[in-house]
């Protein structure tokens, strides 16, 4: 199923595992193959078997005991790792079978030339080279002379002649069907490290474990249970291995591919853009339908271990491909927070639907009592004239949110403490809880300041926070989850990537993962309806008017966030259908500058594709 290049390694750790193509026990060996020859009486053999049986269950002790390595290798049977499939059943991560050629110099026949000739011929190697590798090794010391040998080569080696003292170790290798497109979701597996051993104490030292993505988070469920064979009769399997559970994701594989490709085309077209994030969620339950973070990386390059050079290249890449920016990237959210703050202003009775400001100049001028001739000026992106809450959301009017966020000398504002309270209620400042490791929680302003620092907090800083700037940072996933709460009527769900666990062999569902509610009734229904209408007007007569020609009603909010660089970050988030929301899309193009040519086209493509190919209820 998956192709891997042959590699030559020096040594193999003690835990050799033998599997057939389905992951069950098979001793694919010839000649001696480390079989024990019983040369003592029956009573002594029985005592030996009983003593050794208890001993082999001490995994950690045996795994470090080279003398017993060959016995230990034939005692435990590695389970088949569970598959990972997409929402519609598309296989995304599976297992292929490969072989390692392992020589035990101490078990080679006295005349080893025919055996080595057989091995060398199949491996396209020389007998003399094998002899030089073997020289100086003895006893049960192992030598891996080839890794990732094909099944055909292994069979050829077995049928060509004697393999006394040689083991063909069959093992499973993980592989990924779309290694770039799903790498930030699925992750990859890698060899067990000392640090991993602290978590997985009963794992064999030659194991592979999930290192990132759902492979890491669901390691215990995917792994399965070891089988056990009789240490004195390896044909006798005392306990068959139990395959790991397979996972069915909430992610739609075809939707993920088209999202990735569209976002990548936008990034590739502009030399000044190197990153992009796109997320789609079902607002009614928190299921993630698509999650893309660019640039990405090829998960298959980590199979069997990545070279230091390749890993350093990934580390040095300015786009930081190893970072899942959807969950770990922290950015100023810009105007995407305005629907949230409009709801807070309504709920706290700071405004009503009748409240207005007049913005003839595209700026808020605040008198300076210490220097009347030098007032503080807070700019808007253009003059807006008379503005109520609907227009403030639809056309992203900064001056409205300055006025009722921070307040003015003659008008009450929410103030920083209430602003932060609502940001926290909608999930800002803490991880969403998605089933991916290492998620960041963003950064909230004001909360970590000392009492003295809070006293020095200025209204101007509150103005900045009121339009999603200043010391406020969020992850793209936090924006998607909060917009989902706006769309669904005020319920904040914990986002999730895994829908179901099922039995590997029988396709029997073992566990349905239900949606988890983090907060309910975040806003009063009447206030929430005003916010939703403001976002709807964002499409009909506002900054999201590029979505007007969709075949269904949508609501949207744009965002432009200033950065320390010359170019601004471009945000766009939308949901639909407006009357029965079934999808939320959030797109961020760092340094995208103009959302109309970056984030908006990606959002529109995602909405159109989903409606055409999946439909709405």
CA distance 479 to 292: 15
Q: Please, what are the domains in the chain? A: 42-249 (3.90.1310.10), 255-613 (3.40.710.10)
pLDDT band at 448 (very low <50, low <70, confident <90, very high): very high
Q: Which residue has the higher pLDDT, 23 or 126?
A: 126
Kindly tell me if the per-residue pLDDT of 304 is higher than 80.
no
Kindly tell me if the per-residue pLDDT of 442 is higher than 50.
yes
Q: Give the best-scoring range by mean pLDDT among 77-86, 288-297, 302-311.
A: 288-297
Q: Which residue has the higher pLDDT, 33 or 525?
A: 525
Write down the pLDDT at residue 306.
85
pLDDT band at 128 (very low <50, low <70, confident <90, very high): confident
Q: What is the mean pLDDT of residues 341-362?
A: 97
Write down the pLDDT at residue 559.
96
Distances (CA, A) of 542 to 400, 546, 600: 15, 9, 13
Q: What is the mean pLDDT of residues 444-472?
A: 96
pLDDT band at 134 (very low <50, low <70, confident <90, very high): confident
Q: Which residue has the higher pLDDT, 24 or 405?
A: 405
CA distance 522 to 535: 17
Kindly tell me if the per-residue pLDDT of 51 is higher than 70.
no
Write down the pLDDT at residue 235.
74
pLDDT band at 60 (very low <50, low <70, confident <90, very high): very low
pLDDT band at 28 (very low <50, low <70, confident <90, very high): very low
Return the percentage of the chain with pLDDT > 90, whole number.
Answer: 64
Judged by average pLDDT, the poorest of 59-68, 206-215, 436-445 is: 59-68
Write down the pLDDT at residue 152.
86
Q: Give the best-scoring range by mean pLDDT among 105-119, 130-144, 509-523, 542-556.
A: 542-556
Judged by average pLDDT, the poorest of 5-14, 158-167, 488-497 is: 5-14
Which residue intervals of 57-201 are DSSP H helices? 59-63, 69-73, 113-122, 127-134, 151-160, 183-186, 194-199
Q: Which residue has the higher pLDDT, 16 or 519?
A: 519
Contact between residue 322 and residue 328 where contact means Cβ atoms under 8 Å apart: no
Judged by average pLDDT, the poorest of 33-37, 276-280, 472-476 is: 33-37
CA distance 101 to 103: 7
CA distance 307 to 356: 62
Write down the pLDDT at residue 74.
54
Query: 415-425 and 338-347 helices cross at what angle (nearest 10)?
Result: 110
CA angle 245, 249, 254 (to 5 degrees): 135
Write down the pLDDT at residue 264.
98
Write down the pLDDT at residue 140.
65
pTM of the model: 0.84
- What are 76's strand-pairing partners? 228
Contact between residue 246 and residue 82 where contact means Cβ atoms under 8 Å apart: yes
Kindly tell me if the per-residue pLDDT of 139 is higher than 70.
no
Q: What is the mean pLDDT of residues 41-48?
A: 44
Kindly tell me if the per-residue pLDDT of 183 is higher than 70.
yes
Summary mean pLDDT of the chain: 86
Write down the pLDDT at residue 75.
76
Q: Could you say which DSSP state residue 159 is in?
A: H
Longest dimension (CA), the chain: 108
Q: What is the mean pLDDT of residues 202-213?
A: 90
pLDDT band at 141 (very low <50, low <70, confident <90, very high): confident
Q: What is the pLDDT of residues 368-377, one digit of tens each?
A: 878 888 888 9
Q: Which residue has the higher pLDDT, 506 or 128?
A: 128
Q: Strand, helix or coil at 46?
A: helix
CA distance 302 to 311: 9
Kindly tell me if the per-residue pLDDT of 26 is higher than 50.
no
Q: What is the mean pLDDT of residues 279-294?
A: 98
Kindly tell me if the per-residue pLDDT of 57 is higher than 50.
no
Q: What is the mean pLDDT of residues 136-150?
A: 76
- Residue with token string 């009527």: 489
CA distance 134 to 142: 9
């Amino acid at each position: 199923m998956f192709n891997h290049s042959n590699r030559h390694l020096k040594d193999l750790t003690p835990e050799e595992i033998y599997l057939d193509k389905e992951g069950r026990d098979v001793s694919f060996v010839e000649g001696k193959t480390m079989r024990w020859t019983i040369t003592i009486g029956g009573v002594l053999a029985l005592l030996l078997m009983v003593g050794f049986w208890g001993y082999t269950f001490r995994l950690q002790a045996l795994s470090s005991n080279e003398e017993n390595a060959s016995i230990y290798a034939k005692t435990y049977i590695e389970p088949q790792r569970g598959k990972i499939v997409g929402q519609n059943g598309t296989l995304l991560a599976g297992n292929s079978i490969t072989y390692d050629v392992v020589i035990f110099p101490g078990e080679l026949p006295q005349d080893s030339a025919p055996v080595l000739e057989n091995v060398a011929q199949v491996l396209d190697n020389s007998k003399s080279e094998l002899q030089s590798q073997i020289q100086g090794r003895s006893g049960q010391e192992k030598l891996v002379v080839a890794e990732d040998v094909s099944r055909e080569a292994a069979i050829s080696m077995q049928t060509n002649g004697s393999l006394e003292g040689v083991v063909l170790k069959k093992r499973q290798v993980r592989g990924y069907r779309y290694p770039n497109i799903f790498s930030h979701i699925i992750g990859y597996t890698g060899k067990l490290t000392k640090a991993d051993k602290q978590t997985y104490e009963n794992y064999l030292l030659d194991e592979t474990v999930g290192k990132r993505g759902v492979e890491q988070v669901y390691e215990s469920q995917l792994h399965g249970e070891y089988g056990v064979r009789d240490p004195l009769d390896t044909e006798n399997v005392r306990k068959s291995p139990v395959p790991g559970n397979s996972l069915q994701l909430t992610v739609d594989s075809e939707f993920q591919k088209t999202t990735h490709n569209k976002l990548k085309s936008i990034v590739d077209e502009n030399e000044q853009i190197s990153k992009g994030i796109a997320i789609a969620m079902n607002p009614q339950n928190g299921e993630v339908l698509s999650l893309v973070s660019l640039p990405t990386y090829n998960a298959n390059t980590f199979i069997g271990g990545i070279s230091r050079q390749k890993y350093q290249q990934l580390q040095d890449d300015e786009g930081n491909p190893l970072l899942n920016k959807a969950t770990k990237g922290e950015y100023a959210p810009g105007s995407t927070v305005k629907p949230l703050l409009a709801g807070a202003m309504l709920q706290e009775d700071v405004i009503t639907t009748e409240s207005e400001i007049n913005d003839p100049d595209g700026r808020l001028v605040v008198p300076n009592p210490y220097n009347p001739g030098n007032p503080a000026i807070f700019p808007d992106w253009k003059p807006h004239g008379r503005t109520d809450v609907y227009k403030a959301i639809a056309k992203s009017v900064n001056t409205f949110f300055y006025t009722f966020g921070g307040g003015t000398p003659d008008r009450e504002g929410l103030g920083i403490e209430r602003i932060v309270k609502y940001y926290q209620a909608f999930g800002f400042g803490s991880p969403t809880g998605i089933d991916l490791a290492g998620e960041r929680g963003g950064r909230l302003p004001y909360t970590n300041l000392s009492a003295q620092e809070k006293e020095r907090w200025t209204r101007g800083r509150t103005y900045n926070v009121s339009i999603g700037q200043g010391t406020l940072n969020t992850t793209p996933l936090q924006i998607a989850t909060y917009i989902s709460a706006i769309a669904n009527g005020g319920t904040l769900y914990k986002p999730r990537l895994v829908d179901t666990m099922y039995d590997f062999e029988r396709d029997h569902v073992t566990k349905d993962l239900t949606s988890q509610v983090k907060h309910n009734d975040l806003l009063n229904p009447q206030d929430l309806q005003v916010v939703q209408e403001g976002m709807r007007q964002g499409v009909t007569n506002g900054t999201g008017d590029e979505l007007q020609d969709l075949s269904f009603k949508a609501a949207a909010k744009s965002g432009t966030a200033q950065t320390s660089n010359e170019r601004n970050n471009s945000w766009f988030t939308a949901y639909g259908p407006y009357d029965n929301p079934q999808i939320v899309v959030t797109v961020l193009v760092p340094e995208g500058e103009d959302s109309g040519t970056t984030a908006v086209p990606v959002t529109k493509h995602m909405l159109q594709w989903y409606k055409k190919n999946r439909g709405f209820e």
